[in-house]
Structures are given as structure tokens and as C-alpha cells.
């Protein structure tokens, strides 16, 4: 008996999806992992606070005499070539930048037409993940989902982190994603340095099916402990349910805290049983010139 073409298409799509998400999880976990050195909470504060030296250097550069520009011969033929190259380069750049938002919906077969609802927990009643497809003539029963995470991380060199995360999602695809972290570092002898960091984001689930969900959003970063700083945050991530009982989750944040640039990457592998997921992974938070990073482990409750 021949297998229906629709089933073959679904199998092929699942294979492509598994390859894509495996590569994305690896890249997102490695993105900030090139500079592997222990974090310093004091350096993080100084980076967020900024300094006048940068401003002074900029002022000195402004005071220097400017060189006169040399006159150049105008060539219309060169201008036409430059315009064509600029147009092509701009198109390539656009698709390169937009691909993280264009490729996932195509890979997941998400045309924004399916009606979905949330399961009580991942893989409930033999489902393929956390979302269920609902027939067009039926009404979604579980319109909201709630996830609460607690985790612990360490770099095994005196830096520890105790973190929490709250995620609220709706079948409208909109949701809230917030996290908070308490950092503790052994400085000298029995003295410890501590710091609080976190973020809060409004997110949109722009690609989804039963196996995976991609989301992106904007929000705020914050830092507290000896001083208080805030900044802008952009977030992008996905939750992938390859096969029961596994859950792979990855998130990438980029923004600012005070005067410092901020980048954050976390990838985890979890085992879920009904409402409880136990996971481990790696987390990197880069602020200014300092990395705060380490192995993590924790638990997530799904509703």
C-alpha cells in the first residue's frame, strides 16, 4: 500500500524542521561562547555606569583639524554600476536579516490559518508537543498557558546564579516573558559580591505548529545592586518538542543596560513528565566587557 502524499509531505517537513532546530540550538548556544572567562560583578557595574573617558576621547577627535576632500571626476557609468550593486547588496542584506522571521513559518507550515489550543502539559494524551490543532468548527478550550521556571547556575570558579522565569502565552500568539536573577561571586576570602539582573518582554509567537513554537519581542533590561540601571531588550527564541519526553528550548537576548551593551544566550535540554520538566543547559550573559556564564540546571512547571 502506498503512503498518502500528505503523510509523505508531513514526514519530509518534520525532518527539515529537526535539522533546522538542531542547527539553531547549536548556533544560539555558541554565539557568545568564544570568550570563555569568569564574570566579575564589579566590572558589570562599571560597564553599565559608563565613564567620562570615552566622551573625552570623542571631544579630542572633534578638535583635530579636518583634512580637505580631494575632488573626484564624476562618471555616470560607474554610478549605474554602483546603483545596481547597491540594490543587489541591499536585497541580499534584507533577506539575510529577515531570514530568522521568514524561514521558521515556512519550515513549520504556519499559514496563520490553523486554530490551536494549549495542552494541559507537553505530550498530553499522545499529542506531539504543547499545542494542539483544533477543528475549524470547534472552539479552543485552553486559550492560555503558564510556565514557571526556577534554576541554578555556576561557573565552578566562585560565581553562582539563582534565577526565575515566568512566561504567559495566549492563543492570540501574544504573551509576556520575564525573568530575574540573583548573582553571587566569591571575591576575596569570605567576602561576597552580589547583583540582581532581569528583563520583562512583550512577545509574539510568529511561527508555530504542534512540534515547535518561535517567538520574538521587545522589552526592558534592568540591573540592581549598589546601583540601578535599565535598558532596552530584544528577545528571540523557540521551544521544540522533538519526541516525548524531550524539550529543547533556546533564547537569545540583545540590548543595553545603562551605558553597556548586553547579550544573553541560553539553551536547555529537558525531560518532561506531565506538568514537571527537569532540565540542564548553558547560560551566557555578556555585559560590557564581562561574561557571566556557566552550567545551569532547574525545573519548569507547565500549565
Q: Which residues contact 293 (CB under 8 A, 6 or more apart)?
A: 32, 33, 36, 39, 155, 282, 283, 284, 285
SS3 content of the chain, % helix, strand, coil (to 5): 25, 45, 25
Domain boundaries, the chain: 5-49+108-302
Residue 38 pLDDT: 40
Residue 54 pLDDT: 42
Render each residue's pLDDT in the chain as its tens digit; 303 residues. 444 554 556 556 666 666 666 666 666 555 544 444 344 788 888 888 754 434 434 444 455 555 555 555 555 555 555 666 666 676 677 767 888 999 999 999 999 988 899 999 999 988 899 999 886 656 778 899 999 999 999 999 899 999 999 999 999 999 999 999 999 998 876 788 999 999 999 999 999 999 999 999 999 999 998 889 999 999 999 999 999 999 999 999 999 999 999 999 999 999 999 999 999 999 999 999 899 999 999 999 999
Q: Which residues contact 281 (CB under 8 A, 6 or more apart)?
A: 29, 266, 267, 268, 269, 295, 296, 297
Residue 35 pLDDT: 40
CA dist., res. 116 & res. 210, Å (int): 9
Residue 36 pLDDT: 40
CA dihedral of 185, 221, 167, 276, whole degrees rounded to 10? -10
What distances in angstroms separate CA 21 from CA 59, 173, 232, one per listed residue? 47, 20, 27
Q: Are 135 and 280 in contact (CB under 8 A)?
A: no
What is the Rg, in whole angstroms, of the alpha carbon atoms belonging to the chain?
24
Q: Are 101 and 216 in contact (CB under 8 A)?
A: yes
| Grid coordinates of 117 | 489550543
Residue 167 pLDDT: 98
Q: Are 209 and 233 in contact (CB under 8 A)?
A: no
Q: Which residues contact 188 (CB under 8 A, 6 or more apart)?
A: none
Tell which CATH classification among 3.10.450.50, 2.40.160.20, 3.40.50.10860, 3.20.20.210 matches the domain 5-49+108-302: 2.40.160.20
Residue 40 pLDDT: 75
pTM summary value = 0.77
| Grid coordinates of 89 | 547588496
Amino acid at each position: 500500500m502506498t503512503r498518502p502524499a500528505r503523510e509523505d509531505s508531513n514526514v519530509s517537513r518534520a525532518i527539515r524542521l529537526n535539522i533546522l532546530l538542531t542547527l539553531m540550538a547549536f548556533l544560539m548556544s555558541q554565539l557568545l561562547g568564544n570568550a570563555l572567562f569568569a564574570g566579575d560583578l564589579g566590572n558589570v557595574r562599571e560597564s553599565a555606569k559608563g565613564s567620562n573617558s570615552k566622551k573625552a576621547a570623542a571631544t579630542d577627535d572633534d578638535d583635530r583639524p579636518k583634512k580637505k576632500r580631494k575632488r573626484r571626476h564624476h562618471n555616470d557609468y560607474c554610478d549605474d554600476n554602483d546603483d545596481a550593486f547597491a540594490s543587489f547588496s541591499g536585497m541580499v542584506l534584507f533577506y539575510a536579516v529577515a531570514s530568522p522571521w521568514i524561514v521558521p513559518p515556512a519550515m513549520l507550515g504556519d499559514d496563520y490559518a490553523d486554530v490551536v489550543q494549549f495542552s494541559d502539559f507537553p505530550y498530553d494524551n499522545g499529542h506531539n508537543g504543547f499545542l494542539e490543532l483544533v477543528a475549524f468548527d470547534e472552539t479552543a478550550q485552553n486559550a492560555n498557558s503558564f510556565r514557571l521556571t526556577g534554576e541554578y547556575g555556576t561557573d565552578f570558579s566562585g560565581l553562582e546564579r539563582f534565577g526565575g522565569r515566568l512566561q504567559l502565552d495566549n492563543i492570540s500568539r501574544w504573551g509576556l516573558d520575564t525573568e530575574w536573577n540573583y548573582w553571587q561571586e566569591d571575591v576575596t576570602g569570605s567576602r561576597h559580591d552580589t547583583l540582581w539582573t532581569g528583563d520583562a518582554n512583550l512577545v509574539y509567537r510568529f511561527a508555530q505548529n504542534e512540534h515547535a513554537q518561535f517567538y520574538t519581542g521587545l522589552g526592558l533590561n534592568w540591573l540592581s545592586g549598589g546601583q540601578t540601571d535599565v535598558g532596552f531588550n530584544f528577545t528571540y527564541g523557540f521551544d521544540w518538542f522533538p519526541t516525548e519526553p524531550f524539550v529543547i528550548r533556546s533564547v537569545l537576548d540583545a540590548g543595553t543596560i545603562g551605558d553597556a551593551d548586553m547579550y544573553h544566550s541560553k539553551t536547555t535540554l529537558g525531560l518532561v513528565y506531565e506538568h514537571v520538566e527537569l532540565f540542564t543547559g548553558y547560560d551566557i550573559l555578556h555585559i560590557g566587557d564581562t561574561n557571566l556564564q556557566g552550567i545551569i540546571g532547574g525545573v519548569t512547571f507547565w500549565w
